[in-house]
């Protein structure tokens, strides 16, 4: 696998990316990836996937969303992230050896963004969505253990909207502690230790309004060639979110359900099974949806 630092622009904002290419001429397919929730392009977590994809002949472009890592200014905004993903597709299309583009998204809004891009950008011919969020409001609600916690959060958002109107600015919050509420596993896992110290620690609370309105489930019916990778009884991104996206998508589609594992452990525990399935999915569908098959694969029973 070869690796090159690249830059492109999204709505005038400089975006920093990594282009990973095969050692030898490949199948002329490109895969675009925006990181998962609060992720960065150089996370070691993604390397096994990219190594397998490039070994199969694909070119992979992963980048930092605006406001993250080495990219230009911005904030935590799913709508801006979708624009950045579309700009990344445009950048891939300028490369001489790319005929078709698919999208891979992993982790919360990373998985959800893959569905949104496939639904809204006709140049994207297939998608893989791993442990996705399908409904932002439901996701944030389930992180809070009681109704009181949820109502307190909503009241804080209401007060912040008023403050922004009357004063011109709202509060800044830590996105992992005050928008997302980390699970016990998230606090103890080391799977993201290489990037955890470099994510933004203060974003406008107003970003939560966009998460509340985040609805990949509403557009999943416009996607065909979708693979969804889920974890049974997932405490971070609810399992039924993945199932909703799978059920709504048009055939061909595949759901991979991983059992007897957890959200973060599954990446390593079942990587040797799941990664080849992802590669095979792109190999079959990168040029457009093939067939009308609907399949569910159980892993780890």
**Predicted confidence (pLDDT) at residue 26 exceeds the cutoff of 70:** no
Helix (H, G, I), strand (E, B) or coil at 113: helix
Task: Provide the b/e sequence for 253-275 (b: ≥16 CB within 10 Å).
Answer: bbbbbbeebbbbebbebbeeebb
Is residue 190 in a domain?
no
For residue 83, give its domain range. Answer: 2-135+214-299
pLDDT computed for residue 237 by the predictor: 97
Assign residue 232 the CATH number of its domain. 3.40.50.1820
Would you say residue 172 has pLDDT above 80?
yes
Average pLDDT, the chain: 96
Summarised one tens digit per residue, pLDDT across range 271-281 is 999 999 999 99
Residue 90 covered by a domain: yes
More confident residue, 193 or 45: 45
Q: Do the domain assignments include residue 183? A: no
Q: Note the pLDDT of residue 290.
A: 78
Structural domain count of the chain: 1
In DSSP terms, which residues pair with 132 in a beta bridge?
Answer: 108
pLDDT, residue 112, reads 98
Q: What is the pLDDT of residue 287?
A: 87
Is there a domain that residue 189 lies in?
A: no
278 falls within a domain: yes
pLDDT digits (tens, 9 = 90+) for 123-157: 999 999 999 999 999 999 999 999 999 999 999 99
**With b meaning 16 or more CB within 10 Å and e meaning fewer, what string describes 73-110?**
ebbbbbebbbbbbbbbbebbeeeeebebbbbbbbbbbb
Q: Let me know if residue 169 belongs to a domain.
A: no
Asked whether residue 164 is assigned to any structural domain, the reply reads no
Q: Is residue 53 a part of any domain in this protein? A: yes
């Amino acid at each position: 696998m070869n690796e090159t630092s690249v830059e492109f622009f999204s709505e005038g904002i400089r975006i920093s990316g990594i282009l990973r290419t095969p050692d030898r001429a490949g199948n002329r397919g490109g895969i675009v990836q925006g990181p998962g929730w609060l992720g960065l392009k150089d996370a070691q977590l993604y390397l096994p996937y990219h190594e397998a994809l490039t070994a199969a002949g694909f070119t992979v472009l992963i980048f930092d969303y605006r406001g993250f890592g080495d990219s230009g200014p911005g904030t935590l905004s799913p709508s801006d992230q979708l624009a950045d993903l579309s700009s990344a597709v445009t950048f891939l299309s300028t490369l001489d050896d790319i005929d078709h583009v698919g999208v891979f998204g992993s982790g919360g809004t990373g998985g959800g963004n893959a569905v949104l891009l496939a639904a809204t950008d006709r140049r994207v011919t297939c998608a893989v969505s791993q442990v996705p969020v399908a409904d932002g409001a439901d996701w944030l609600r389930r992180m809070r253990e009681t109704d009181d916690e949820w109502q307190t959060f909503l009241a804080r958002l209401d007060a912040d909207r008023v403050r922004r109107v009357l004063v011109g600015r709202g509060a800044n919050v830590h996105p992992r502690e005050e928008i997302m509420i980390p699970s016990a596993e998230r606090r103890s896992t080391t799977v993201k230790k290489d990037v955890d110290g470099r994510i933004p620690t203060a974003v406008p609370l107003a970003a939560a309004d966009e998460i509340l309105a985040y609805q990949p489930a509403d557009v999943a019916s416009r996607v065909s060639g979708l693979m969804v990778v889920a974890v049974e009884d997932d405490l971070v991104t609810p399992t039924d979110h993945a199932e909703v996206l799978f059920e709504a998508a048009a055939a061909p589609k595949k759901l991979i359900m991983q059992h007897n594992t957890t959200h973060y452990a599954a990446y390593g525990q079942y990587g040797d099974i799941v990664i080849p399935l992802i590669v095979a999915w792109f190999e079959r569908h990168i040029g457009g949806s093939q067939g009308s098959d609907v399949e569910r694969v159980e892993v780890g029973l």
